Structure 1
Amino acid sequence: MTRIAALPHSAPFAPEDIAVLDKVIGRASSTQRAWLAGFLAGIDAAKGDAAAPAAPPAAKTKLTILFATESGNSEALANAAKKDAQKRGFAPRVLDMADIAPAALAEAENLLVIASTWGEGEAPQRAAPFMRALLAEDAPALEGVTFAVLALGDSSYAQFCETGKQIDARLEALGARRIAPRLDCDLDYEAPAANFIDSLFTSLAPQADAGSVIHVDFHRAEGVEISKANPFEAEVAALHPITSSRSESETLHLELDLTGSGLSYEPGDTLGIAPTNAPSLADAILGATGLAGDAAAREALIRERDITTLTPKLIADYAALTGEAKLAALAADEAARTAFIAGRQPLDLFEAFPHRIDAGQLAGLLRKLPPRYYSIASSQKLVGDAAHLAIAKVAYESAGRARLGVASGMVAERLREGDTLPIHIKANPHFRLPEDSSAPIVMIGAGTGIAPYRAFLQEREATGASGRTWLIFGHRRFTHDFLYQLEIQDWLKSGVLNEIDLAFSRDQPEKRYVQHVLWERRAALQAQLAEGATLYLCGDAKAMARDVDATLAHILGGDDAAKGQAALDALIAAGRYKKDVY
C-alpha cells in the first residue's frame, strides 16, 4: 500500500496527536479515509455541532493566460502561471493563440499574454494566423479588458521581442487597459519572468478570493528533477561523422547514454546540451580586457558566459562602463551599430575599443551561456536508455577571423567517446507523429533536419505502424551528404518508408532544393493531403522554411495568394502542418 504524505506541522493538533493521526491516516486506503471522513461528519451532525452553512464563496477573479510558442518556453510559463494563479484564488484558463481568434479575448477580464518571437521578429508559426487577425483593421474592440504582456526573445536579433511588442501596442490600440509595463526577456528568462508574474498576481490578488481552501501539496519529490538548471551528465557512447571526408558541411552522429537518469522522450522532442566555450576564445577576451592570467575569470568565460554573441545591449553597456565617446556614438547610431555587429563577436568589440576592466565588470557585460537544443534522432522504443543526435559543425570566417559554433565546435573538436555532457530533455508536443498510426505523413527536411524523421521512422518500425510515409530530403551532394543513407535504404526495402524524393543542390548546374521537389510532385502531395496526411518541416528557418511555405501556399491556392495562405493556416490549425525550424 502506498503511503500518503504526512500531515503538515501546521495542522490544528498537538505534535503528539499529529504523530498518532499520521500513523493511522498515512497507511489508510482511499476507501478507509473516505469512510472516516463520513463517520466524523455524521457524529458532528448527530450532536448538532455541524457548522452553519457557509456563505456562498465570492466569485473568483477571472484570468486568461494567452501564449504564443515556438519551442515550448511560453507554453511552459503559461501552464506554470496557471497553477500559481489557482493557488492564489483566481479562476485561470490557458489559451494557445493557435486555437483561438482575437474575438475570444473580448470575454477576458484580466489578460496575461506570454509571447515568444521567432527569428527576425516573426511570430511563432502556429500563432501567425492569430497575429494577422489581431493586426487587421477589422480586429475587435477590447474595451473592458485589462492586460499585461510578457515577451520572450533573443537580444542577438535586431527585432528583439517584436511579437510581444506588437501585441502590447495593439491591445492598447483596441481599447484594452495595460495594468503592468511590458517585460522583454532575453534567453535567460526564467527568473525575470517569475518575478513579473508574481508581481502581477500580487497586484491583482486583493480582487481574488481564495475562500477557505487550504492548498496542501501532497507530492514529495523523491529526487531533484533533471532540467536545464539541473542537467544529467550523460556519457558519450559513440561519436563519428556521417558525412564523407570531402563534405563541405561536416555532420556528426552523437549517441548519449541515459542509463540511470530516468529520462524519457518522444520522437519530435529536443535535447538540450550545456556547452562550454573554446578556451582559446576565452583567453583572447581576457587578453583584450586586461585580465590575462585570471584563472577564475577564465573558468567563468568557458563555462558560464556567452562570449560569442554580440548584441546592441552589450555595446551600449560597454560604452556606459568605459565612457568611451566613440563607443557611445556607435551604440547610438542604429545603422552603424548593425553594420558593426554583423559577423562579429564580443572579442571584436573589445579589441576595437580596448579598455582594462575587472572580472566582475566583464561578467556583467556578457549574457549567461544558454543551452543549445537539437532534435532527437532516435526513438526509445528502439534504442532504450539512449538518445541520438545529428550535429552539423558550424565553421565559417567573418570579419577576418575563423569562427566556430559553440556547441557544434565543442562536439567536433573537443568531445571524445567516454566524456560526459550535461543534458536535459525538452518536450516538443507540437511536433509529434499522428495519434492514428495508420495516418499518412509527409516529412520535408534538409541537412540535419533529417534528425526527427529518423526518430519517426524508428518509432514506426518499432510499433509496426501502417501509415504511409514519404520523405523529401535535401542536402548539398549525394555522394558526401546523404545522412543516414544506409538506414533510409533499409527502411525503403522493409516498407517502413514508402517513398523518398531527394534534392541535392550541388549535383547539377542549377541548384535544386526541397521546394522544387514539392512543386514537381504537387499532384501527389495534394492527393496525400486529401487522404489526411500530416506535413512536417524541419531545417533552416531563414531560407528553406520560407521557400517551402511559399511553395505550399502556391500549390494549395494557385495564383490566389490569399487562398493559399488561408489553406496553409487551416492545415496549421488542424495540426496537420508542423514545423521544427531553427
Structure 2
Amino acid sequence: MTKSATLPRTAPFAPEDIAALDRVIGSASTVQRAWLAGFLAGIDAAKGEHAAPQAAPVAKTKLTILYATESGNSEALAGAAKRDAQKRGFAARTLDMADANIAALKDAGNLLVIAATWGEGEPPQRAAPFYRALMSNSAPKLDGLNFAVLSLGDSSYAQFCEIGKQIDARLEALGAARVAERVDCDLDYEAPAGSFIADILGKLTPPDDAGSVIHVDFHRTAGEAVSKSAPFTAEIAEHHPLTSSRSESETFHIEFDLTGSGLAYEPGDTLGIAPQNDPVLVESLLRAAGLDGDPESAAALTSERDITTLTAKLVQDYAGLTGDAKLAALADDDAARRDFLAGRQPIDLLEAFPHKLTGAQLKGLFRPLPPRYYSIASSQKSVGEAAHLAIAKVAYESAGRARLGVVSGMIAERRATGATVDVFVKPNPHFRLPADPHAPIVMIGAGTGIAPYRAFLQDREATGAAGKSWLIFGHRRFLHDFLYQLEIQDWLKSGVLDRIDLAFSRDQPEKRYVQHVLWDQRDALKARLAEGAVLYLCGDAKAMARDVDATLTRILGGDDAERGQAELDALISAGRYKKDVY
C-alpha cells in the first residue's frame, strides 16, 4: 500500500489551506502529482518567475590523518585532530598504518602523518609492514599529495624521532608536497603537538572557512574524570616480593585500591604512575647548583622535572647557560659527548662542571617528568575496584654511582602498604584478548612481561572462556624468579592454562631463553597458528623482542627469510601477533 503524501506543518500556507491540499495531494496518484508539478512550473515560467537556484553542495577538503602508534599517543592525537578537522569542515578520516595502502594515499589530497619512534629508531610494530613498503624501491610516486609530519619520540635515545624524519624525507622523495616543516616532540608532546595540528589545519582550511577557530582539548575526552593530567590518588593495599631474597632481579607485587575512582580497564591495558624523584638525588642536585635548602626548587625537582635523563640537549643548554668553555667544547664534540652521556645522569654533569644557578635556571634545564607505565596484572572481573602490578626494581651502578629506577625505586624503597600513589589508566586497545572466547592464544613473555598474561588468565577464568591458552615464560632462575608460580600451577591444573613451557636462563651452563623454546616447539606453534591462535609478546624490547621476531621469521619461512617476514607481517596485519614491549 502506498503511503499518502502530506504537506509538513511548516509549509508556507495557512492551516486550513494545508488541510485542503492534503486532501488533494494525499489521494493523488504518482501521475497526477507529476502533472500538477509540471503545470505549476509552467505557470511560473510563463510569468517569468523562477525559484531561487539552490547552491551546489561544496566539496569538502579531504584530509587523511595517518598514524603509527605503539603506546597509543599517536592514535589519541589523530583522533583529536580528526574531531577538530571535521568541525572546520574537512572530510577527515584517521588511518592506522597497520591498515594503510601506500597506493591509495595518492588520492588522499592532504595527509597529516603522526608517527612515533620506538626504541632505537624503529617503527611501532603494527606500522612496520607499511614503513618497509614505503621505504622500498617499489613504492609508488605520490605527486599531487600534500603532507605534513608530526614526530613523537624520546630525546634520551640517540635516534630521536627517527621514524618521523624518515617518513618526512621519503614522502618528499616520492613527489608529495610538504606544507609545513616537520615538528619533533619529546615526551612532553601535548602542547607542541596541539599547536602543530592547529597550524596545519589552519593552512589547509579553505579560504571561506579560514575565520573559524575551534579549540580542541587534546588531553581528555568527554566525561573522563581521571586522566594523566588529573590522576587518582590510590592507596597501596598489598605490597610484597614476588622473587626470593636470593634473586638478582628483585620484583614486587603491588595492589592499588581504586575504590571511588570510577576507573575501568581491560586486560592488556596499562596503569600510569606519576613519579616522585628520589629525595637524596634531589638534594645532590641542589647542592651542585648552590641551592641547598631551597624548598621551592626541591618541590619542582621532586615531582615536576625529569632529573635522571641526560641528553645532548641538556649538555648544550647547560654550556650555553654557564658560558663554561670546557663544557662548550664537550657539547660540540659529538664523540666526546656520546662517551660522556653513556651511563651518566644530570647529577654527573653538574658535579663535573659545577656552577651556581638560580632555581629557575636549574628547573629550566630539565624536561617535564613523564609518567611511567606498567602492564596491569589483573582483570577487574576478578579483582573489582583494584589494579595489580608486577614491578621489578631497577638498581645498577654506572660511572661510579649507584642508580635507581625512578618509579621502581620509589615503589621498592619509599612506598609500603598504606602509602598512596597517583595513578591513571591508559588503554592499550592493540593488546587485548580475542573477542572470540574460543580462540586459542599463545603468550610469550619474560620477567615482568608475565603481568598482562596474569590478567588474561584471570579474565578467561572469570568468563569461562574455552579457548586454549599456552604460556611460554622465561626468567633467570626457577627457584628464585618464577613469578606467580602458584597461581600458574593452579591454572594449569584447572585447565584455564592448557600448556606451559619455561626457560630459565641461568639454571644450566648454556643460557636458554624463550626464543629457544619457540624453536624447539616450532611444530606445536605452527599447529596452534593453523587453529587460528593469536600470538602475544611482552617484555624487553632491545634483546628479547628482536630475538623472538627473528625466531618466528625463521619458523614461518624456513630458509626463505623474505617469505618468513611476509608471513609474520600477515599475522601482524590480521591482528594475530601483538606486542607490549619496553
By the TM > 0.5 criterion, same fold? yes
- Superposed CA RMSD in Å reads 2.4
Whether the aligned pair in 1 keeps the contact of 2:288 and 2:354 (CA below 8 Å) is yes
Work out the CA distance in 2 between the residues paired with 1:370 and 1:401.
23
Q: Show the counterpart of 1:134.
A: 134
Shift of 1:215: 12
> 1:537 is paired with a residue of what secondary structure?
strand
Work out the CA distance in 1 between the residues paired with 2:12 and 2:532.
60
CA change 1:572–1:356 in 2 (3 A) is: same
Structure number with bigger Rg: 2
The worse-fitting range, judged by mean Cα deviation, of 275-284 and 130-139 is 130-139
Work out the CA distance in 1 between the residues paired with 2:477 and 2:144.
59
Instruction: Tell me which amino acid in the other structure corresponds to 2:552.
Output: L
Q: How does 1:196-345 map to 2 (within 5 A)?
A: 196-207=196-207, 225-345=225-345
Q: Show the counterpart of 1:380.
A: 380
Instruction: Tell me which amino acid in the other structure corresponds to 1:118.
Output: W
Q: Show the counterpart of 1:117.
A: 117
Work out the CA distance in 2 between the residues paired with 1:338 and 1:215.
42
Whether the aligned pair in 1 keeps the contact of 2:319 and 2:327 (CA below 8 Å) is yes
Whether the aligned pair in 1 keeps the contact of 2:239 and 2:417 (CA below 8 Å) is yes
Q: Show the counterpart of 1:482.
A: 482
Q: Report the identity percentage.
A: 74
Q: Show the counterpart of 1:88.
A: 88
Work out the CA distance in 1 between the residues paired with 2:485 and 2:241.
13
Q: Show the counterpart of 2:9.
A: 42
Work out the CA distance in 2 between the residues paired with 1:293 and 1:97.
51
Work out the CA distance in 2 between the residues paired with 1:251 and 1:133.
41
Shift of 1:224: 5.9
Shift of 1:137: 1.2
> 1:283 is paired with a residue of what secondary structure?
helix
Q: How does 1:31-180 map to 2 (within 5 A)?
A: 42-46=9-13, 54-180=54-180
Q: Show the counterpart of 2:535.
A: 535
Q: Show the counterpart of 2:569.
A: 569
Work out the CA distance in 2 between the residues paired with 1:404 and 1:324.
30
Aligned residues: 542
Work out the CA distance in 1 between the residues paired with 2:529 and 2:323.
61
Whether the aligned pair in 2 keeps the contact of 1:60 and 1:209 (CA below 8 Å) is no
CA change 1:323–1:244 in 2 (3 A) is: same
List runs of 5+ in structure 1 lacking aligned partners: 1-38
Instruction: Tell me which amino acid in the other structure corresponds to 1:463.
Output: T
> 1:275 is paired with a residue of what secondary structure?
coil
Q: Show the counterpart of 1:19.
A: none
Work out the CA distance in 2 between the residues paired with 1:216 and 1:254.
36
Shift of 1:43: 2.6
CA change 1:47–1:329 in 2 (3 A) is: farther
Q: Show the counterpart of 2:185.
A: 185
Show CA shifts across 1:368-426 (max 9, x none): 00000000000000000000000000000000000000000000000011111111100
> 1:46 is paired with a residue of what secondary structure?
coil
Shift of 1:42: 2.2
Q: Show the counterpart of 2:393.
A: 393
Whether the aligned pair in 1 keeps the contact of 2:441 and 2:467 (CA below 8 Å) is yes
Work out the CA distance in 2 between the residues paired with 1:281 and 1:216.
38
> 2:149 is paired with a residue of what secondary structure?
strand
Show CA shifts across 1:170-224 (max 9, x none): 0011111110110000000001100111111112223575999x9999xx99976
Shift of 1:338: 1.2
Shift of 1:112: 0.3
Show CA shifts across 1:145-179 (max 9, x none): 11100000000000000000000000011111110
Whether the aligned pair in 2 keeps the contact of 1:58 and 1:211 (CA below 8 Å) is no
> 1:112 is paired with a residue of what secondary structure?
strand
Q: Show the counterpart of 2:194.
A: 194
Whether the aligned pair in 2 keeps the contact of 1:155 and 1:311 (CA below 8 Å) is yes
Instruction: Tell me which amino acid in the other structure corresponds to 2:361.
Output: Q
> 2:267 is paired with a residue of what secondary structure?
coil
Whether the aligned pair in 1 keeps the contact of 2:535 and 2:578 (CA below 8 Å) is yes
Work out the CA distance in 2 between the residues paired with 1:134 and 1:578.
22
CA change 1:345–1:41 in 2 (3 A) is: farther
> 1:75 is paired with a residue of what secondary structure?
helix
> 1:95 is paired with a residue of what secondary structure?
strand
Whether the aligned pair in 1 keeps the contact of 2:202 and 2:210 (CA below 8 Å) is no
Q: Show the counterpart of 2:361.
A: 361
CA change 1:492–1:288 in 2 (3 A) is: same
Q: Show the counterpart of 2:39.
A: none
> 2:10 is paired with a residue of what secondary structure?
helix
The worse-fitting range, judged by mean Cα deviation, of 152-161 and 130-139 is 130-139
List runs of 5+ in structure 2 lacking aligned partners: 1-5, 19-50
Work out the CA distance in 2 between the residues paired with 1:225 and 1:544.
37
Work out the CA distance in 2 between the residues paired with 1:325 and 1:178.
39
Work out the CA distance in 2 between the residues paired with 1:449 and 1:321.
42
Show CA shifts across 1:507-533 (max 9, x none): 001100000000000000000001100
CA change 1:40–1:365 in 2 (3 A) is: farther
Q: Show the counterpart of 1:36.
A: none
CA change 1:40–1:388 in 2 (3 A) is: farther
The worse-fitting range, judged by mean Cα deviation, of 350-359 and 389-398 is 350-359
Q: Show the counterpart of 2:406.
A: 406
Whether the aligned pair in 1 keeps the contact of 2:84 and 2:216 (CA below 8 Å) is no
Whether the aligned pair in 2 keeps the contact of 1:253 and 1:388 (CA below 8 Å) is yes
Q: Show the counterpart of 2:426.
A: 426
> 1:579 is paired with a residue of what secondary structure?
strand
Q: How does 1:520-531 map to 2 (within 5 A)?
A: 520-531=520-531
The alignment's TM-score, normalised by the length of structure 2, stands at 0.90
Instruction: Tell me which amino acid in the other structure corresponds to 1:247.
Output: S
Work out the CA distance in 1 between the residues paired with 2:188 and 2:430.
23
Show CA shifts across 1:26-79 (max 9, x none): xxxxxxxxxxxxx9962344359x996741331111001000000000000001
Instruction: Tell me which amino acid in the other structure corresponds to 2:279.
Output: P
Q: Show the counterpart of 1:446.
A: 446
Work out the CA distance in 2 between the residues paired with 1:499 and 1:185.
43
Whether the aligned pair in 2 keeps the contact of 1:60 and 1:210 (CA below 8 Å) is no
Instruction: Tell me which amino acid in the other structure corresponds to 1:435.
Output: A
CA change 1:216–1:506 in 2 (3 A) is: closer
Instruction: Tell me which amino acid in the other structure corresponds to 2:118.
Output: W
Work out the CA distance in 2 between the residues paired with 1:333 and 1:229.
38
Instruction: Tell me which amino acid in the other structure corresponds to 2:576.
Output: R
Instruction: Tell me which amino acid in the other structure corresponds to 1:276.
Output: Q
Instruction: Tell me which amino acid in the other structure corresponds to 2:78.
Output: A
Instruction: Tell me which amino acid in the other structure corresponds to 2:141.
Output: A
Work out the CA distance in 1 between the residues paired with 2:14 and 2:347.
80
CA change 1:190–1:41 in 2 (3 A) is: farther
Whether the aligned pair in 2 keeps the contact of 1:61 and 1:207 (CA below 8 Å) is no
CA change 1:148–1:223 in 2 (3 A) is: closer
CA change 1:309–1:87 in 2 (3 A) is: same
CA change 1:333–1:388 in 2 (3 A) is: same
Work out the CA distance in 2 between the residues paired with 1:321 and 1:70.
36
The alignment's TM-score, normalised by the length of structure 1, stands at 0.90
Work out the CA distance in 1 between the residues paired with 2:158 and 2:221.
42
CA change 1:373–1:215 in 2 (3 A) is: closer
Work out the CA distance in 1 between the residues paired with 2:366 and 2:308.
9
Work out the CA distance in 2 between the residues paired with 1:265 and 1:526.
32
Work out the CA distance in 1 between the residues paired with 2:150 and 2:210.
25
